[in-house]
């Protein structure tokens, strides 16, 4: 089977479908700046796409001069983000692709490290796009038994198995050849390194759309994306065994 033939699609959210990364970057940068620390690109790439508490614990561990606990950091972070969520908009090509896949009956789910309260807050004004997913959303703080955050594969396997009904096997332990084949038929769209690595560990194909400031050269190691794009606008559905866009499919894009 060609790896470019897929039966279902899983999307990340932040920095992939919506431009929320600018909000995260601004808020974290402001918190660190108050304590004389610059939020560098290296720091951003290290924590991007990971569960918030885990990411901030790591961030504070490499910034020992900042007198904040993880809980205090999270409180300041959440308060500032609440003011920025209404400014979040879809990224180029996102609405077109989501609407197109939904129109052709392609099973889709969201797998985001974002906490559910933040996911709801940042997407409620973008119903035209997110209504296409219904309740098929896994968030980083959902209580799925033993689910580890990205770059572990868990969230993608949970999304496929529990939201889409795909027989991909258990999150932990070995899988059968049939389950492995079901995993190979999944296509994940990601923008973060941790998410890309997690999806590859899940045995799925990955289209990586890295943050504009994230150098592709930073993606090192054995886990590589199957395709790298500058924007979702560049994605060609038929190259993955999906229905091509129609001539008028760009009409109404956001």
Q: What is the pLDDT of residues 42-65, one digit of tens each?
A: 888 778 778 888 889 999 998 888
Give 130-177 pLDDT, tens digit per residue. 999 999 999 999 977 679 999 999 999 999 999 999 999 998 888 999
Separation CA 192–CA 214 (nearest Å): 9
In degrees rounded to 5, what are phi and psi of residue 161?
Answer: -75, -50
Name the fold adopted by 21-87: DNA polymerase; domain 1 (1.10.150)
**Angstrom distances, CA of residue 144 to CA of 157, 187, 239:** 11, 22, 34
pTM of the model: 0.86
Catalytic residue set: 12, 14
Residue positions counted in the chain: 254
Please count the other Cβ atoms lying within 10 Å of the Cβ belonging to residue 7: 16
Q: What is the pLDDT of residue 251?
A: 42
CATH 3.40.50.1000 in the chain: give the residue spans. Answer: 8-19+89-240
How large a percentage of the chain has pLDDT more than 70?
A: 91
Per CATH, the number for 8-19+89-240 is: 3.40.50.1000
Give span(s): CATH 1.10.150, the chain. Answer: 21-87
Q: What is the pLDDT of residue 254?
A: 43
**pLDDT tens column, 69-123:** 999 999 999 999 999 999 999 999 999 999 999 999 999 999 999 999 999 999 9
Q: Which two tokens stand for residue 123?
A: 């997407």
């Amino acid at each position: 089977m060609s790896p470019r033939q897929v039966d279902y699609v899983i999307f990340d959210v932040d920095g992939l479908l919506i431009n929320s990364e600018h909000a995260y970057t601004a808020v974290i940068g402001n918190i660190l700046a108050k304590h004389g620390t610059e939020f560098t690109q290296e720091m951003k790439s290290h924590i991007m796409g990971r569960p918030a508490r885990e990411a901030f614990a790591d961030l504070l561990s490499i910034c020992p001069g900042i007198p904040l606990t993880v809980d205090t950091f999270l409180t300041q972070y959440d308060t500032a983000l609440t003011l920025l969520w209404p400014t979040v908009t879809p990224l180029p090509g996102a609405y077109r692709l989501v609407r197109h896949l939904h129109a052709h009956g392609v099973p889709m789910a969201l797998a985001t490290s974002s906490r559910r309260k933040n996911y709801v807050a940042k997407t409620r004004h973008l119903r035209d796009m997110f209504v296409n997913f219904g309740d098929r959303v896994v968030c980083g703080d959902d209580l799925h038994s033993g689910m580890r955050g990205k770059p572990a594969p868990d969230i993608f396997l949970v999304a496929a198995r529990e939201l889409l009904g795909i027989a991909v096997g258990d999150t932990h332990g070995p899988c059968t050849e049939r389950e492995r084949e079901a995993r190979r038929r999944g296509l994940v769209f990601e923008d973060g390194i941790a998410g890309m690595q997690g999806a590859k560990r899940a045995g799925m194909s990955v289209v990586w759309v890295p943050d504009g400031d994230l150098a592709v050269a930073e993606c090192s190691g054995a886990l590589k994306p199957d395709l790298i794009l500058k924007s979702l606008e560049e994605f060609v559905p038929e190259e993955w065994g999906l229905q091509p866009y129609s001539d008028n499919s760009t009409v109404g894009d956001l």
